[in-house]
Structure 1
């Protein structure tokens, strides 16, 4: 089964604006919706217009316009309701509409990722250099994707080689010795194609200064890093009905907090996938994936690379679909062997096997109504944890231009091996205690949306309610014994936690090359409390209640040798308060309410197209020169305006 992913109108309608390479007349723009295909919402190819699950798509043209280096850069510049905050030496944490990164399942071509940093995936390994588009499903998706999808799914769809030969290089420089270089090479024929990508990024550490009289801990250094990322994908089309895809990748990142012992992060991944169109109605997919993510400290004087963390995942997946006219039956099963080594774990190593089976039926009742139901069973060998998860989605289209969607989904997140078996002294602040008796957290998600398009305009409005039982988190630190020097920080299940919110997006595109998008998100969290009804101290800031993203873009081709694209985009986030310790090393000093003010960050970029091969980019990031007054742990990591200059050359188009 071969699936194509063109960059088409309805994908743009869901999220953003189009690029200069896309058709400028609104008729072609509107007609292109008939070919847009997404897979994440139902795990089967589906026209985005007809998908019963509200799926947002960030296209390759938007990724190029954002000039995004990795997934973090992309999401925070395009989507409202998303913020990246920081804690514990600037480890990155994502808050997505009230769900943390550990509850938003991040996939690459449908495959899970090994490893985490402070409960989130390592976003720096998710470079955008070979990405075709990103599909985002908000709300519980555990009925199809299992644990960690209780807040939603972010699926990064990579490119395939589509031409006999292609070779391009690119580079960008900015403040603080920021550098980014990339190379993409594709080659192949009718049967065999190959796509190779390599990227290199780096930035130096730099100093920042806070105002007088901070009320909690501030930092003075923003850490840069140096990253290598290699990816290769080989595709062999054995017949018209059978395709094999093999991939391999290597990631290396070095970060220097201590000059004599820089931190190193590595990832090695590989996979093989076979897709077989058995008949016009039956399709089968079998895949294997390997992923190993490591952390180490490099002792320069001794020339020793001391590994203190490794997570290795081996997974198998079988997916079968059968069409019954307009209806589709989907069945699948997964096996995952999860190994973790961590010197902070009781016993240092832990293993777990997980198996699941799921089924989904897509019932097209008539031209107006569609109903999709799914059910999944998961089993985890560690303490024999199991879970049954349902989901129901409904699409109703009373007229051609108007679509309503309603859904209920149960989500769950099984406790990780880390949360169960941690036991270590965290830098003299407290002793972190795992809890082997943790329950799985369970969420109930209800969502309703309406989408309307006409001519040059598209409007989408959605609302949701999420309720989470037995949320897994760290509780308030306490002293177990009078003789304890430092307190204990336990993992536990909290009382109910709920989020109510919604989003509105308006898009317009005119025939003169001008397009605009405006999106607003409301996120209203009701934070959990512990058994004593005390609000639990949160090392990450809660979701900001109001956020707005805006984008305007103008594109014009001045003949065959020169074209210009001018874009401006920005995000505005409301203020938020968070309860934090005055001194993390002495909790007896109590807790202060830290006020994180509202802020706005804008980017102005120009892209100059010289012939068919060369593009020059000039960008002013943080156009309004925003700087936090206090660099608290969760403050935005910026020290003002950043001029970035870049270029890309398609070498195969030079001659």
Structure 2
């Protein structure tokens, strides 16, 4: 299988290079021709517009810069039929005169129905959210701007059905799955660098992001094994302005200073954008009696750049780069030889990514694209004795990722769009917390998708992906989705898909003890040896599960369906409702297997035999006046381990009663499902924008219900009220005012009512103020 991965990788590189071949120009027509350009009402070119000459039965599509051409058109009068997803179709009469040439400029208007944005994540074809058979939520650039938020974790916290959790960084839960199961992409490429399964979303800065697309439910049929819970794809801004310069600065609570600069320029065949941001914070401490701060002081830098070169109207070459660097400083305490020692903690983290891509249109019916994506992530942590400067603990982690991919799209006309792709991935990890210090994998993949629109009210999408991996068995992940729209105001969506997720390096090979907190985590292949070592050192007080009886974890398998309804009452009201169910076999969960003498736990990873997550989401959006949007969302979630339920029904699960101090059987009704999942979550948003006065503002709330936190009676399940944490609500507000000469003033308050839970929810930092100024040239 390693050989297969290499072959696929070389094939992908060859296909990627082939995608950059220049377009051949057709010979001039003998009779005449029709040429032109299609633009939006803002004067920006629109690509992939379908244009047909009804009388001649021929059609074509606009190029990447909005141009089109019909050769060999006899003199006469013709009707052009112009259509594009997300735009109102139009008809244009054109006369080819005696000189044999007609030139036209067409202007298309975006559909007003729910202000439909174009998305590229649910399928491999750009579609409007109204027309896509795969349900895709979109955070538009207008919503990002009106929130005043600058980091991805804060933005996602305010979305329906997305819960931001703190575990080695800020990650997201979707449909009851931990952060490990959600794939984070930037322009379709994965962001790497997870810690304990969590990809810290506070690393991702939003200044150059045009929109964020969220697809919930398994999308392994297009994106592979990390997309079991769904995909979050950040679409960066394309450089379209002839010249634009942005400067911004912001100060806030906890000594926060955020400054940035960026520019974009478009001249001739080239377009370039560059953005640079720096953020500094003194951190905060909600428990001043402890030495360790709740959040350490830090400074980080983000650089992002994108370049496009239009070789011809049919060929485009592109490159993009993203660089992130962060350093943290803090102090902590640890007990050593019966004495408390103070430690200086220093941590550095960096990641970079580079993408090279090429796109080529071959006639009106074929599009070829290819890309090479390379990324690297590194983290260095050093703990030193404050008095002696001697090294107490160190941790190094390096991850490298290389992917090559090619895609061919066939547009045969009529009702079908066919997409085929091939690619290869190489991944390498070096870490002193992994047994053997380094591990590598290689894989190849193939995918195919068929989109079929047989009628105006029916849209079907069927996709499948085959993954060939060097470390586990080959897998095929299928998915089918359908959109039924019997009326323009009513849409019904359904999808059924299967997927898988393989255990990562850490879940198999991890060997780690936190030097300051005192807990230990082992991979499934190292837990037995690790507990034996700790026991020999006298660090184990109790064994909860015999490590010799634990099996090596396996890949997870799932099958899921989503069924949704969308009702749109003109421009003013939109109602969305979605049911979902995920049936997972061999779900990987971390859980304690032993208690240490310091009171901390020893964790490892398990396959929970059969897990089900199911629930419903509802969204209501009202636009009572132009520029005002009121939205509310709610998610109901149920999670359960099917094996635990069977044991409860058979009376095999017991607990120590806190009242009687005696053992008692646990009733089925007391079972609360999987840990750290809230049954009830919701959001409330009010946004407004006045183009006349230049005023923007918002008031938003994120609501999280109670959830299981800690196994206090040590029976391994969530079953008593003392094991729950209370829910909480955070309110945020923001306002900005445009002034003259491109100046904008802004201010906001996060956690408006100063909600805190210092010992259990450290992300609730208390009320935070900020203010800033922006300047555009």
Give the match for residue 14 of structure 1. none
Report SS of the residue matched to 1:261. Answer: strand
Give the match for residue 191 of structure 1. 269
Select 2:172's aligned residue among 89, 94, 98: 94
Instruction: Tell me the distance in 2 between the aligned counterparts of 1:555 and 1:283.
Output: 39
Report SS of the residue matched to 1:257. Answer: strand
Instruction: Tell me the distance in 2 between the aligned counterparts of 1:310 and 1:63.
Output: 32
Report SS of the residue matched to 2:554. Answer: coil
Comparing 150-159 and 110-119, the one that deviates more:
110-119
Taking a change above 3 Å as real, the CA distance of residues 210 and 140 of structure 1, as seen in their structure-2 partners, is: farther
Taking a change above 3 Å as real, the CA distance of residues 303 and 158 of structure 1, as seen in their structure-2 partners, is: farther
Q: What are the within-5 Å matches in structure 2 for residues 443-454 of structure 1?
A: 443-454=558-569
Report SS of the residue matched to 2:723. Answer: strand
Q: What are the within-5 Å matches in structure 2 for residues 44-55 of structure 1?
A: 44-55=125-136
Taking a change above 3 Å as real, the CA distance of residues 484 and 433 of structure 1, as seen in their structure-2 partners, is: farther
Q: What are the within-5 Å matches in structure 2 for residues 154-553 of structure 1?
A: 154-209=232-287, 221-258=294-331, 260-297=344-381, 308-325=396-413, 326-382=415-471, 384-427=472-515, 428-430=518-520, 432-435=522-525, 437-455=552-570, 456-478=572-594, 489-527=603-641, 541-553=675-687
Instruction: Tell me the distance in 1 between the aligned counterparts of 2:110 and 2:623.
Output: 9
Instruction: Tell me the distance in 2 between the aligned counterparts of 1:291 and 1:433.
Output: 25
The structure with higher relative contact order (CA 8 Å, sep 6+) is 1
Q: CA RMSD in A?
A: 3.5
8 Å CA contact 2:119, 2:127 repeated in 1: yes
Select 1:569's aligned residue among 696, 700, 717: 700
How far 1:488 sits from its partner (Å)?
Answer: 5.2
The number of residue pairs the alignment matches comes to: 612
Comparing 250-259 and 40-49, the one that deviates more:
250-259
Select 2:744's aligned residue among 604, 612, 615: 615
Instruction: Tell me the distance in 1 between the aligned counterparts of 2:355 and 2:488.
Output: 41
Give the match for residue 579 of structure 1. 710
How far 1:624 sits from its partner (Å)?
Answer: 1.7
Larger C-alpha radius of gyration, 1 or 2? 2
How far 1:80 sits from its partner (Å)?
Answer: 2.3
Instruction: Give CA-to-partner distance per residue, 1:60-113, whole Å, 9 cap, x none.
Output: 111111112211011002x123222224xx533422221111101111111112
Instruction: Tell me the distance in 1 between the aligned counterparts of 2:393 and 2:724.
Output: 40
How far 1:541 sits from its partner (Å)?
Answer: 4.8
Instruction: Tell me the distance in 2 between the aligned counterparts of 1:33 and 1:237.
Output: 33
Q: Does 2:764 correspond to 1:649?
A: no
Q: TM-score, normalised by structure 1?
A: 0.86
How far 1:222 sits from its partner (Å)?
Answer: 2.9
Instruction: Give CA-to-partner distance per residue, 1:199-258, whole Å, 9 cap, x none.
Output: 1112113221499xxxxx998633342111111111111111111111122111112233
Structure 1 gap ranges (5+): 12-27, 212-216
Instruction: Tell me the distance in 2 between the aligned counterparts of 1:296 and 1:409.
Output: 39
Instruction: Give CA-to-partner distance per residue, 1:334-366, whole Å, 9 cap, x none.
Output: 211000011111110000001111111111121
Taking a change above 3 Å as real, the CA distance of residues 200 and 541 of structure 1, as seen in their structure-2 partners, is: farther
Instruction: Give CA-to-partner distance per residue, 1:568-613, whole Å, 9 cap, x none.
Output: 1112221223334699xxx9xxx99433212111112211110350
Give the match for residue 10 of structure 2. none
Instruction: Tell me the distance in 1 between the aligned counterparts of 2:459 and 2:679.
Output: 33
Instruction: Tell me the distance in 2 between the aligned counterparts of 1:294 and 1:507.
Output: 42
Instruction: Tell me the distance in 2 between the aligned counterparts of 1:233 and 1:457.
Output: 37
8 Å CA contact 1:338, 1:351 repeated in 2: yes
8 Å CA contact 2:509, 2:522 repeated in 1: no
How far 1:522 sits from its partner (Å)?
Answer: 1.3
8 Å CA contact 2:169, 2:201 repeated in 1: no
8 Å CA contact 1:315, 1:337 repeated in 2: yes
8 Å CA contact 2:524, 2:552 repeated in 1: no
How far 1:271 sits from its partner (Å)?
Answer: 1.3
Give the match for residue 21 of structure 1. none
Taking a change above 3 Å as real, the CA distance of residues 222 and 484 of structure 1, as seen in their structure-2 partners, is: closer
Report SS of the residue matched to 1:388. Answer: strand
Report SS of the residue matched to 2:698. Answer: strand
8 Å CA contact 2:196, 2:506 repeated in 1: no
How far 1:116 sits from its partner (Å)?
Answer: 0.7
Give the match for residue 52 of structure 2. none
8 Å CA contact 2:85, 2:128 repeated in 1: no
Report SS of the residue matched to 2:500. Answer: strand
Q: Does 2:141 correspond to 1:68?
A: no
8 Å CA contact 2:423, 2:445 repeated in 1: yes
Taking a change above 3 Å as real, the CA distance of residues 310 and 528 of structure 1, as seen in their structure-2 partners, is: farther
Report SS of the residue matched to 1:420. Answer: helix
Comparing 303-312 and 226-235, the one that deviates more:
303-312
Instruction: Tell me the distance in 2 between the aligned counterparts of 1:497 and 1:112.
Output: 27
Report SS of the residue matched to 1:124. Answer: helix
Instruction: Tell me the distance in 2 between the aligned counterparts of 1:313 and 1:154.
Output: 19
Report SS of the residue matched to 1:207. Answer: coil
Instruction: Tell me the distance in 1 between the aligned counterparts of 2:762 and 2:641.
Output: 22
8 Å CA contact 1:277, 1:283 repeated in 2: yes
Instruction: Tell me the distance in 1 between the aligned counterparts of 2:618 and 2:355.
Output: 38
